Amino acid sequence: MKRIIFILLGIVSFIILQSCNDRDEIRQDIDNLNDRVDKLQETIMQYNEQVAAYDALLTGTSWMVDFSEHDQGYTIKLNNGKKLEVYNGEADLDYSPFRIGLDEKSGKYVWYYNDEILKQNGETVPVVGENGVTPQVRVNENGRWEFSFDGEIWKEGDNALPRAGGTLFDDVKKTDENGNTWIEGTSKGIPCLTFSWTVGGIENVVTIPTLGGLKLTLEVGKQDGGKEYVEEIDFKIHKPFEVKVGESLTVNIKQKGVKTVVIETTDFAVQITDKKDVIPDPVSGEVDGVMTITPLSAISMENIYLKIFSAENFCKLVLVPVKVLS
């Protein structure tokens, strides 16, 4: 009889212990889900900050002064003193089904959930601006994502399970202004960051230069014929500017973000003017102008130094090599 009681007690104890273990595991799962929700909410707030800064970069109200690369992306220094962390598609971060993308109809950045635009009362909600809203996120009793724009009406989503995947951008890389991978010592012009990501079936690729694209380019002849606008003249590709003593040379230029030009030369008279009734190019933001160069002496070859300054007092140096013909 004692053996039967002992066995029964053992079975009951096993059931109780097993039940306690199950409860502990369930409680641990709930705690893990709650931790993930807290982290996701922080991530969404960081996304909002990123998009606000990114929007400022695109519209030209903020400039990328410099950037540095780290293991998971780049740290961008903005002209307002703030820093923006941008992670590439290989970043070791938790997957979030919430991403930011462009709405083709409104032309604004909006929230997506698994490639579908989140809507409030049937209307898309912009991420930034006067009507911008950040969705609230939680996990319901069934372990599924729920989101709300007003804290009252909640919509259910997928299971809130751990997944590995992308961040705000699928890829961020250092490039030239044409989006080509930057090669130290070889690439020309100013270094840029090119952002690419796909959401809602829409592929986005945007290249943002440092210093807000501050530049002055010169129209120069090529050795094999034709002309092009460049910031740096390479004699292997381009012809030097030539002008005769007693004459003047007119060079077409394009400027972007230039407020002041300081001209340094003792051998030429140089004048830079914008073309009449000119408006910035709607795509590049560049303004057409002309530079007139008149030699003051019969020198053979000399550089003209142009220091260009932006409204924020950023500065770049442009060299203009000129050959004087007798």
Q: How confident is the model at residue 323 (pLDDT cuts 50, 70, 90)?
A: very high
Judged against a pLDDT cut of 80, whether residue 237 lies above it is answered with: yes
Of residues 15 and 256, more confidence is placed in 256
Judged against a pLDDT cut of 80, whether residue 26 lies above it is answered with: no
Tokens of 137: 């996120």
37-41, 66-70, 216-220, range with the lowest pLDDT: 37-41
The yes or no reply on domain 214-325 and CATH 2.60.40.10 is yes
Q: What is the pLDDT of residue 121?
A: 78
The residue ranges of every structural domain in the chain are 8-211, 214-325
Q: What is the CA radius of gyration of the chain?
A: 30
CB 286 within 8 A of CB 250: no
Judged against a pLDDT cut of 50, whether residue 7 lies above it is answered with: no
Q: What is the pLDDT of residue 187?
A: 84
CB 300 within 8 A of CB 324: yes
Q: How confident is the model at residue 34 (pLDDT cuts 50, 70, 90)?
A: low
Residue 41 neighbours by CB under 8 Å, 6+ apart: 136, 137
Q: How confident is the model at residue 200 (pLDDT cuts 50, 70, 90)?
A: confident
What value does the mean pLDDT of the chain take?
Answer: 76
Q: Is 39 helix (H, G, I), strand (E, B) or coil?
A: helix
Rounded CA separation 13/33 (Å) = 30
Q: What is the pLDDT of residue 6?
A: 41
Q: What is the pLDDT of residue 96?
A: 57
Q: What is the pLDDT of residue 129?
A: 61
Q: How confident is the model at residue 251 (pLDDT cuts 50, 70, 90)?
A: very high
Q: What is the pLDDT of residue 294?
A: 95
Full-model pTM: 0.52
Q: What is the pLDDT of residue 12?
A: 44
Q: How confident is the model at residue 5 (pLDDT cuts 50, 70, 90)?
A: very low
Distance in Å from the first CA to the final CA of the chain: 126
Which of these, 210, 216, 224, lies nearest to 289 by C-alpha position? 216
Task: Tell me the per-residue pLDDT of 118-176, one tens digit each, with 9 for 90 and over.
Answer: 887 788 877 766 677 767 777 677 767 777 777 788 877 766 554 433 456 778 889 98
Q: What is the pLDDT of residue 19?
A: 52
Mean pLDDT of 295-323: 87
In order of 11, 32, 39, 43, 56, the CA distances from 161 in angstroms are: 34, 10, 14, 16, 34
Q: How far is CA 68 from the centre of its chain?
A: 13
Judged against a pLDDT cut of 90, whether residue 304 lies above it is answered with: yes
Mean pLDDT of 240-258: 92
Q: What is the pLDDT of residue 2?
A: 39
